[in-house]
């Protein structure tokens, strides 16, 4: 399978659809983000600020509800604007990035994004 790209992520806005103002120019929005089946790209799942309604700057991303179908941990990488998927390696018990392993089925997260 090919690595997942930003075009393989689907964003569905939750209520309120247009978000809510937090501060002078920032918007808080909540989305369900779904991935297609495919390979997890090393470095994380690339987010698209424009599709999240914050095309100028993504200030923060929080995973509010991880997928119930997996045992992953999700960490937002601010510098790359990607969500890294962390998993126990099964051997040492030390969590590490998922790194080029296939997602055999679509994954869904509920995230909160703040930006402008």
Q: What share of the chain is helix, strand, coil (3-state, %, to 5)?
A: 5, 45, 50
Fold annotation for 6-115: Immunoglobulin-like (2.60.40)
Contact at 8 Å (CB) between 80 and 39?
no
pLDDT for the residue 96: 84
The domain limits of the chain are 6-115
Condensed to tens digits (0 to 9), the pLDDT of residues 48-65 reads 999 999 999 999 999 998
Q: How many CA atoms lie within 13 A of 94 on its CB side?
A: 2
User: What is the pTM (predicted TM-score) of this model?
Assistant: 0.82
Condensed to tens digits (0 to 9), the pLDDT of residues 74-100 reads 899 999 999 998 887 777 878 888 766
pLDDT for the residue 39: 85
Distance CA 57, CA 64 (A): 20
Does residue 10 sit in helix, strand or coil? strand
How far does the chain reach from its first CA to its final CA, in angstroms? 34
């Amino acid at each position: 399978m090919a690595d997942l790209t930003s075009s393989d992520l689907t964003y569905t806005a939750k209520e309120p659809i247009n978000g809510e103002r937090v501060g002078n120019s920032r918007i808080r929005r909540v989305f369900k983000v779904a991935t297609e089946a495919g390979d997890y790209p090393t470095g994380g799942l690339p987010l698209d600020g424009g599709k999240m309604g914050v095309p100028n700057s993504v200030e923060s991303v929080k995973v509010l509800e991880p997928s119930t179908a997996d045992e992953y941990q999700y960490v937002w990488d601010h510098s790359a604007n990607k969500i890294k998927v962390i998993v126990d390696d099964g051997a040492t018990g030390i969590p590490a990035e998922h790194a080029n392993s296939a997602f055999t089925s679509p994954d869904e997260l509920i995230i909160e994004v703040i930006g402008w």
